[in-house]
Structure 1
Amino acid sequence: MSTDPTPLANQLLIALPTLHDPNFARTVALICQHDSEGAMGIVVNRRSEYTLGEVLRQMGIETGDEALQAQPVLAGGPVHPERGFVLHDGGPWDSSLEIADGLYLTTSRDVLEAMARGEGPAHALIALGCAGWGAGQLEHELTEDSWLTVPADPELLFEVPLEARWQAAAGRIGVDLRKLADYSGHA
């Protein structure tokens, strides 16, 4: 058994077509933290109804960067949908969790203020909400043919278009999700 306290951290969970939960159907989630008490992740391929400009205005943060304002905010998961999460490269900010070398999840306002000034990380995804699994829940779902796992990589997180991430993530391990059935069975 692994002694790594976060065995699935920095892994992408790819929802298999058999996963019909509307919160996770056809999603890709980055596992940010995983230990004996459960797991936490961010869905990285589902748009919310908001743009970053709308969120920044709501927070009283001004920016003249039109591309930043137009950036979509992701629906990061059904847990704490009112809470913001910034997944980014570069160094840590006030409230940052290091997921992997050079990859952070930050929940503090300072990273958004730096982005608005043009001084933020080179790559960032902003999400509202997160995904959570209780102790043993994610491990159980992995045995139930709900998810595939692949190592996360910056290209997939920050460069592949949102709508292509589900298939692209599975393609990293040679799986074409379009060819899989949307039901499972056991012999």
Structure 2
Amino acid sequence: MAFIKKSERKHRLDPEFEELATPKDLLDLARKRGVETNPINISQLASELGIVVRYEPMSDEDSGQLKKDKKSGDWIMTVNSLHHPHRQRFTIAHEIAHRIRHAANSDHFEDKTFFRNNESNWMEAEANQFAAALIMPEEAFTKFVEEKSAKVEDLALHFKVSSMAVRIRAKSLGYEGHNA
């Protein structure tokens, strides 16, 4: 039996965002620019990054998309206006992750329903993890659990995300229970 080395992921950061490679970097930028960070005003952060956010009705399985306008060079994010505002927040964070982490690889991202498709590629998985860490930073998450409440519903209300997003984030941070 022989081992086969996995091929390296093709991953290059857009030079414009080399200094913004992590959710923590974005949170620091938000603080410097006066953007609320607990919980993060994700729409304002997108705007600070030069991303135009539009809300439009889309089919239910479509959460959003991000694409570079060929004429203007602007990055345009479209968010499903029919989805719950908490889901929209996660979608915006997910699309920001694509802009920061993957725009050197592609200039168009279409995203279907998050967390429900186990067939997602590495960029989608990374964008979900990035988005969760941006919206629910480890330090703020832990502080809320220790000082206010460990109930999934309370965390979801505070961070303005779905309970499923809280459960997945809790599990990634090493918490157990709550069907994470």
What range is the shorter-chain TM-score in?
under 0.3
Say which structure is richer in helix: 2
Q: TM-score, length-normalised on structure 2?
A: 0.26
Q: Which has the higher contact order (CA 8 A, sep 6+)?
A: 1
**Would you tell me which structure has more strand in proportion to its own residues?**
1
